[in-house]
A and B are shown apart, each in its own frame.
Chain A
Amino acid sequence: MRVCYLIAGVFVCASAAWSSDDSESIIASQRVDFFERKIRPALIEHCFECHEIEAESIGGGLRLDFRRGLIDGGDSGPAVVPGDAAASLLVEAIRYESLEMPPQGKLPDALIDDFQHWIDDGAVWPDEPEPIGERSEDEFDLQRRRASHWAWQPIRTPVVPDVGDSDWCDGTSDCFIAERHASAGMTVAKSASASQVARRLFFDLIGLPPTIRELEQFHRDCKRLGSERALARLTDQLLASPHFGEHWARHWLYLVRYAESRGHEFDVSIPNAYHYRDYVIDALNDDVPYDRFVIEHIAGDLLDPPRTDSRGRRVSALGTGFWFLGEGVHSPVDIRKDETDRFDNMIDVMSKTFLGLTVACARCHDHKFDAISSADYYALTGYLQSSDFRPLRFETHHANAAIDTSLAQLDRMMRDRVAKALPISPSVEDEPSFVSAALQPHVVIDYTNPKGSRLIRNGYAFSSETISLGQLRFVDAEVPLRFSTFAGAITDPIWNRLDSIHQDGLEEGFRLGKIHKAGRTLRTPTFAIHHGKVAARVRGSGTAFVCVDSHRLVNGPLHGETVVTIQPESDWVHFALDRYLGHRVHIEFIAAPGQTLDVAMVTTGESDGDRAAQQRHETAIAATIEQSNDELGRAWANDESLQSVKRLVGQWRRQRQQLASRIDVTSHVAITMADGDGEDDHLLIRGDSSNPSDAVPRRFLTAISSEASLSNPVPMGSNARGSGRLELAKRIVDPSNPLTHRVIVNRIWHHLMGRGIVATTDDFGVLGTRPSHAALLDHLVDRFRSGGGSIKSLIRDLVRTRTYRLSGQYDFDSLQADPSNQHWHYRPPRRLTAEQIRDAFLVVSGHVDRTIGGPSIAIHLTPFMTGRGRPRSSGPLDGDGRRSLYIETRRNFLSPFMLAFDAPVPFSSMGRRNVSNVPAQSLALMNNPMVMQQVALLTDRAARETPVAEDRITWLMKTLMSRSPDDKEVRAISEFVSQNKASEAWSEVSHALITAKEFIYVP
């Protein structure tokens, strides 16, 4: 309010200079009267909807409900300069000269005149306090928010509660639960039977029901070892089962909104996504330490050395595939806005998955509730701005790297030795420039000399070193030596045989879906387009792709100009990029399969004359060099004195051949991230991509940075050549970060116990729920860390607790006191997930195919699944018996059966599913054709397995419910059979038992 008083004071003084006290007060009151009659009502009527404290969202950050609001202004600066209407933005806006306000229509001219008069007259406003409004929000004070919210606090090592001589606790975790039981006066349910626990273990650990054989094995173990040790043994067996990774991968894949198509209009495929899915399965089966797993997701491509998995493959980079599994749009009208939307989703998924934070809420403004600033958000998007999509030949990338290095060494060494021995050299000046003086000012990317632009490669088809003018080169020709008349980045034909294995759509789909990029691509550094004409001096054949604002789903009607074919006969490739002035781009040069492609430079804005001058320049130099080549050719043919050179060249050839034979030619291609150029993103005012503000240095969240770095923030990724993602990853898993480990431990607890200690598994912020047992959470983190971040160890610990083994037999009074089971005083039956239900059908029908991994099975299409992008053919009704996580997840064609049972829609992190309970589920189990098919298979199988009908009831109950029937159940079923036609009776029994609640609700 100080400003307000001050200005009012100045105004009063100014008036006093020429008026008597009386006339001064009269004039002042006239001015107030004018304001109250003309201006205030107009503000209320035309402006308050968006510019008042109570407005739903305050437009442009501008408030017009108190004087200081006008003077301080909003995002666009001060709205009113008292005494100077002409300089006041407000007047400009209501005149519709810049902003057009109010948007509903221009105000009458008379009213606009009133506003001008009022401002020129000092913009008088009666002295009144700033309106506060009913829902005034907290001022954004990051440190205060950080200090006051539990999740930001460091992890403690809580003392395990002393619960006396309670024999209830089995391990320390139980003590925390038991302590609450005692303090709340809960009567705790008794433990479930060993068989019940066994059924739970099967579903919770591997997601499948036990077979009769597995059940019998367990019961034998119980007899032999006692139930305690039998359960321990079963736990170990299940943790060691390859199906463990499948089941827990399914949990994980919903966190990273895993899907195999991009949704939107044509639902184009995301080729090769399944390698990421299999990577997760393998990592969980291999029990990769969680920190390592996280680092691989954020920056696995930057790990040196990468992790070798149990199949002997270097897989760390595959973790980064998760970044790129989001939706995608073709032909966006505003291509930069599309990028900011993609980044939003990437940050959203990353921050929810690893940190349990909704960082993306801070895209348009500081977080409404949490200690996350808008700058924090843009500090993170900078990492994406600095990174890039890279289809990777992951099975051979690392092995071939050694060959790439050896090849460069060999060529360098042999070139020197041959040059020394060779009496011929081109008579060009010492460091001849390939670029003519005329063209020089227009070069944006320069590969013609070693000091030029950095080579960023996907694979090794482009050599690691550029070639310079007149440089000696080994060529596979009659005369195997040649002085180069070209300078730039060159491909080495030694890599021509590369063979990549893709899914349909190769690497990206749409226009780029026909181009083999992996292993054969040169990517320029990122640069801004300042002129619509861009060209590149090239030699060879392939494709050039201008990647604008990281948009890759190129498919008409817009942006077709970003993909240009390079014809072998053309020296230049031209791009018309007028549409993208001011946008950030890089260009990818992709050599056609089996062909070479050399790139000298990228230029912009030159004239045809400039290029003609360059042509003359090249011709002149080439003429000189070609003389030497001719000389060399003649000498090679005739001169006996080149014998030593020929020997050397023979050696060169043999060693190259040797290296060539070691190239790993064939590889699958996976989706990964790679570094581009280190760049900071700009804060976007209100998240609006057309309204950028200052650059925000890349760094981790302010609230998780250490105290030291807070006072002196050290931007990460200051190394301009890289994104800095590896540093970010290390911060995320640093023990001083209180969130990462709490979040994963809580997720595991959630999956095993039915509800997280923090119920909102993906949101540890202020709007999330508080931990019901905060000390237990930290205790588990402690255990998890001392166990090296082993997910399997934590699961092993948790499933042997009494808490896990509680039965559903609640105590009536305890239930009254704690109906939502906050204290875990009993264990309610849990409905199987959509995937578990379908997988259980396959197991009981005997029709399951237990193959692990591989390409997905096409989705079965019902007549109700329609729309653009519908796959041409439907997948099999039974999904070939494969587990549900192998059924293709197409965003626009999700399985209605799975959706009915709450399978999440993959658009954001879903660590906790809805569990609805609706008639559609009954209908699905009663009538769905897949269910009917599986019931028929089950019935046949039952008849085969139990030729004697009396045994069949037991067999069915054991197969479906993992237990024997009691007398009443046997009687009920027998009666039913006897009342129905024999031919139908058993099918109906099978169907009735599958719709019985115990089949999908695990007690």
Chain B
Amino acid sequence: MSPTLPSSGSWCSRREMLSRCCGGFAATAWTALQAYRTLGESQDKLTSMAGHGPHHTPSVRNVIFLYMDGGPSQVDTFDPKPLLEQYHGHSPSDLFTVQPTQFNNVGKMLASPWAFQSYGESGLPVSDLFTAVGQHADDLAVIRSMTSEFPEHTFANYFLHTGSGLQGRPSMGAWINYGLGSESEELPGFIAINGGLTPPGGLDCFGSGFLPASYQGSIFQPHSTGVADIQSRSFAGAHRTPRLDLTRRMDQLSQSRYGVHDAIDSAIHNDELAAAMQLAVPDLMDTSDEPEHIHRLYGLDSDYKPTQIYAKQCLLARRMVQRGVRFIELTCPNVGSDRWDQHRDLKAGHEKNARAVDQPIAGLLTDLKQQGLFDETLVVWAGEFGRTPFAQGNDGRDHNPFGFSVWMAGGGVRGGMIHGATDEFGYKAIEGRCEIHDLHATILHLLGIDHRRSTFRFGGRDMRLTDVKGHLIDEVIAS
């Protein structure tokens, strides 16, 4: 529990509420520190049951979600299909049933423009788009049989982020902070570092939906002050002015007039936290204290601007992990053509997108290891869907939710392994088929949360990140 919570008077504090409602999980060190303190007075219990804590021993404390916006092609990254070579130029409908696509412009079978190499002791094949990430093959658990329910970006994005295709549902970062609370008093528990491309579907991908606002993702930019409203503003110009003292004095006098109330106590405490955050965020954002080799490791010195941006995002993610930010999502930088959404010109588009992220991701994995953070961090690499093994038009690929690759690395994850398989053309998952719900269930599991027990009552239902679905992908979990 937070040592700094003010005494909330005589009555049901959050501490009591938690121990009463949640069987004492609040006693663990995992409980929310900065986050949600309800207005117990005017809220009923339903919305005040925040921070249920872990259900079992967690493998990791933090998640870094490398969101690959637009849907990278599985057959061009982590799922080699030699048969595409052989059938290149054939009509796909001669080979299998082609499902309706977003653009309804089905071309011929399209071989991957990239060769694959086997890496590490595991021999995990990775395409030449990811030569740097390939060096970490023995750390990756590649799931080649992921599926989505939606072939359109926005639906699929909401689905990947929130477990529902509908807008306005809580994002997984919000769910996780709702479940575990933040470890940091000075930083939000859920941060999206926006490299430039906001996912189709907008900022609602990072929303808290029906969960309290405190769990929504804070949008950071990888430069300057990072986040809105953090730069201390004062008409007097000092950092922490005596103004706060005057506010506090007025609050005290008001309390003596109207009595002590928990909500007001909490709000007063929040002023203190806010003042601390005003110092903590600039400290987080200022990477000048990192040695030169670290800058180079991530690619901050790259001559390609998008690589520099993503490198900064990855480095900030590591700094956030060090400071106890629970869930960090990185969105992609703008490479000038399009996100990983190559409806045409696959070769150029995928190359630019890969170039932006390959070295920074590899640098992040290396750095997490050397800083001793790898085992307590889960890194997830995923797009909202994959792409068709046949062309859209001549040289693009359309959306494909039927089978695509994502990978995980970090604490609790079996490295150097492949789970599941798509068919011989890489179109549909046929072995070990997984759903996004399964990915969510597994992420929650590694954090110590039983996805079936992490619920929030809304609109007459006990809502879950995994809805009524979700199965652990046991194969990728280290035993």
Residues of chain A touching chain B, judged by Cβ–Cβ distance below 8 Å, are: 49, 56-57, 103-105, 263-265, 267, 327, 329, 331-334, 341, 345, 348, 352, 357-358, 361, 368-370, 557-558, 579, 754-755, 759-760, 762-763, 765, 767-769, 807-810, 812, 815-816, 819-821, 828-831, 862-869, 891-894, 896, 899-902, 905-909, 914-924, 926-929, 932, 935-936, 939, 966, 968-969, 972-973, 976, 979-981, 984, 987-989, 991-993, 995-998, 1001, 1003
B200 and A868 within 8 A (CB): yes
Is B39's beta carbon under 8 Å from chain A? yes
Report 7 cross-chain contacts, Cβ distance below 8 Å, ordered by A residue.
A105-B430, A809-B259, A896-B229, A914-B211, A988-B235, A988-B242, A998-B254
Among B37, B44, B432, which residue has its beta carbon within 8 angstroms of that of A755? Answer: B44
In the bound complex, CA of A490 to CA of B273 (Å): 70
Given known contacts A329-B154, A333-B101, A979-B242, A919 and B273 CB-to-CB distance under 8 angstroms: yes
B246 and A976 within 8 A (CB): yes
B160-203 interface with A by 8 A CB criterion: 165-169, 188, 194, 196, 198-203
CB distance from B257 to the nearest CB of A (A): 8
In the bound complex, CA of A334 to CA of B274 (Å): 47
Is B231's beta carbon under 8 Å from chain A? yes
B154 and A341 within 8 A (CB): no
A767 and B246 within 8 A (CB): no
B44 and A759 within 8 A (CB): yes
A992 and B101 within 8 A (CB): no
Among A104, A816, A905, A915, which residue has its beta carbon within 8 angstroms of that of B209? Answer: A905
A927 and B229 within 8 A (CB): yes
In the bound complex, CA of A801 to CA of B252 (Å): 30
Given the complex, which residues of B lie within 8 Å of A914, measured CB to CB?
43, 47, 210-213
A830 and B11 within 8 A (CB): no
Given the complex, which residues of A lie within 8 Å of B471, measured CB to CB?
49, 56
B151 and A921 within 8 A (CB): no
Closest 5 CB pairs of A and B: A907-B168, A892-B202, A867-B198, A922-B274, A987-B235
CB distance from B185 to the nearest CB of A (A): 9
In the bound complex, CA of A368 to CA of B43 (Å): 26
Which of A345, A893, A908, A989 has the largest count of B CB atoms less than 10 A from its CB? A908
A264 and B167 within 8 A (CB): yes
Given the complex, which residues of B lie within 8 Å of A868, measured CB to CB?
198, 200, 202
Given the complex, which residues of A lie within 8 Å of B89, measured CB to CB?
none
Is B452's beta carbon under 8 Å from chain A? yes
Using CB atoms, name the residue of chain B closest to A909. Answer: B459
Among B152, B200, B257, B271, which residue has its beta carbon within 8 angstroms of that of A922? Answer: B271
Among B43, B102, B168, B433, which residue has its beta carbon within 8 angstroms of that of A906? Answer: B168
Given the complex, which residues of B lie within 8 Å of A917, measured CB to CB?
36-39, 214, 263, 266-267, 270
Is B461's beta carbon under 8 Å from chain A? yes
Given the complex, which residues of B lie within 8 Å of A921, measured CB to CB?
267, 270
Given known contacts A892-B204, A899-B213, A754 and B253 CB-to-CB distance under 8 angstroms: no
Given the complex, which residues of A lie within 8 Å of B42, measured CB to CB?
754-755, 821, 828, 830, 915
Residue tally, chain B, CB below 8 Å to A = 106
Is B31's beta carbon under 8 Å from chain A? no
Dominant secondary structure at the A interface? loop
Using CB atoms, name the residue of chain A closest to B466. Answer: A56
Q: Chain B, 214-239, contact with A by CB distance < 8 Å: what is the 0/1 string?
A: 10101101000001111111111100
Given the complex, which residues of B lie within 8 Å of A808, measured CB to CB?
258-259, 261
CB distance from B386 to the nearest CB of A (A): 15
Q: Chain B, 28-41, contact with A by CB distance < 8 Å: what is the 0/1 string?
A: 00000011111111
Given known contacts A358-B460, A918-B214, A922-B267, A821 and B202 CB-to-CB distance under 8 angstroms: no
Is B304's beta carbon under 8 Å from chain A? no
Given known contacts A755-B44, A902-B213, A988-B246, A815 and B102 CB-to-CB distance under 8 angstroms: no
B233 and A927 within 8 A (CB): yes
B298-319 interface with A by 8 A CB criterion: none
In the bound complex, CA of A360 to CA of B138 (Å): 47
A972 and B253 within 8 A (CB): yes
B406-453 interface with A by 8 A CB criterion: 430-433, 452
B263 and A831 within 8 A (CB): yes
A997 and B254 within 8 A (CB): yes
Given the complex, which residues of B lie within 8 Å of A333, measured CB to CB?
100-102, 151-152
Is B97's beta carbon under 8 Å from chain A? no
B202 and A828 within 8 A (CB): no
Is B104's beta carbon under 8 Å from chain A? yes
In the bound complex, CA of A333 to CA of B244 (Å): 55
Is B404's beta carbon under 8 Å from chain A? no
In the bound complex, CA of A810 to CA of B261 (Å): 10
Is B264's beta carbon under 8 Å from chain A? yes
Is B45's beta carbon under 8 Å from chain A? yes
Given contacts A809-B258, A920-B229, 18 further A-B contacts (CB under 8 A): A104-B432, A264-B200, A754-B42, A759-B46, A808-B258, A820-B40, A820-B44, A892-B204, A914-B43, A917-B214, A918-B37, A922-B267, A966-B257, A981-B236, A988-B234, A991-B234, A997-B268, A998-B258
A927 and B231 within 8 A (CB): yes
Is B27's beta carbon under 8 Å from chain A? no
B39 and A992 within 8 A (CB): no
Is B241's beta carbon under 8 Å from chain A? yes
Among A906, A908, A927, A936, which residue has its beta carbon within 8 angstroms of that of B230? Answer: A927
B209 and A891 within 8 A (CB): no
Which of B12, B228, B259 has the largest count of A CB atoms less than 10 A from its CB? B228
A922 and B236 within 8 A (CB): no
Among A264, A760, A769, A972, which residue has its beta carbon within 8 angstroms of that of B249? Answer: A972
Among B104, B169, B261, which residue has its beta carbon within 8 angstroms of that of A557? Answer: B104
B267 and A980 within 8 A (CB): no
CB distance from A816 to the nearest CB of B (A): 6
A1001 and B198 within 8 A (CB): no
In the bound complex, CA of A133 to CA of B80 (Å): 44
Given known contacts A829-B263, A916-B36, A264 and B201 CB-to-CB distance under 8 angstroms: yes
B49-97 interface with A by 8 A CB criterion: none
Given the complex, which residues of A lie within 8 Å of B36, measured CB to CB?
916-918
Given the complex, which residues of A lie within 8 Å of B432, measured CB to CB?
104-105
CB distance from A877 to the nearest CB of B (A): 13
CB distance from B86 to the nearest CB of A (A): 23
Is B251's beta carbon under 8 Å from chain A? yes
B203 and A892 within 8 A (CB): yes
CB distance from A364 to the nearest CB of B (A): 10
B105 and A352 within 8 A (CB): no
Among B104, B207, B219, B235, which residue has its beta carbon within 8 angstroms of that of A558? Answer: B104
A820 and B12 within 8 A (CB): yes
CB distance from B282 to the nearest CB of A (A): 13
In the bound complex, CA of A288 to CA of B127 (Å): 67
Given the complex, which residues of B lie within 8 Å of A909, measured CB to CB?
459
Among B207, B244, B251, which residue has its beta carbon within 8 angstroms of that of A997? Answer: B251
Is B371's beta carbon under 8 Å from chain A? no
Using CB atoms, name the residue of chain B closest to A100. Answer: B430
A922 and B168 within 8 A (CB): no
In the bound complex, CA of A809 to CA of B257 (Å): 9
A905 and B207 within 8 A (CB): yes
A966 and B168 within 8 A (CB): no
CB distance from A650 to the nearest CB of B (A): 58
Is B278's beta carbon under 8 Å from chain A? yes
Using CB atoms, name the residue of chain A closest to B254. Answer: A998
Among B12, B39, B44, B100, which residue has its beta carbon within 8 angstroms of that of A831? Answer: B39
A900 and B213 within 8 A (CB): yes
A341 and B166 within 8 A (CB): yes
A56 and B452 within 8 A (CB): yes
Given the complex, which residues of A lie within 8 Å of B266, measured CB to CB?
917
B264 and A1001 within 8 A (CB): yes
Given the complex, which residues of B lie within 8 Å of A368, measured CB to CB?
461
A768 and B460 within 8 A (CB): yes
Given known contacts A864-B221, A969-B253, A992 and B40 CB-to-CB distance under 8 angstroms: no
B460 and A819 within 8 A (CB): no
CB distance from A546 to the nearest CB of B (A): 17
CB distance from B18 to the nearest CB of A (A): 14
Given the complex, which residues of A lie within 8 Å of B259, measured CB to CB?
808-810
Given the complex, which residues of A lie within 8 Å of B221, measured CB to CB?
863-864
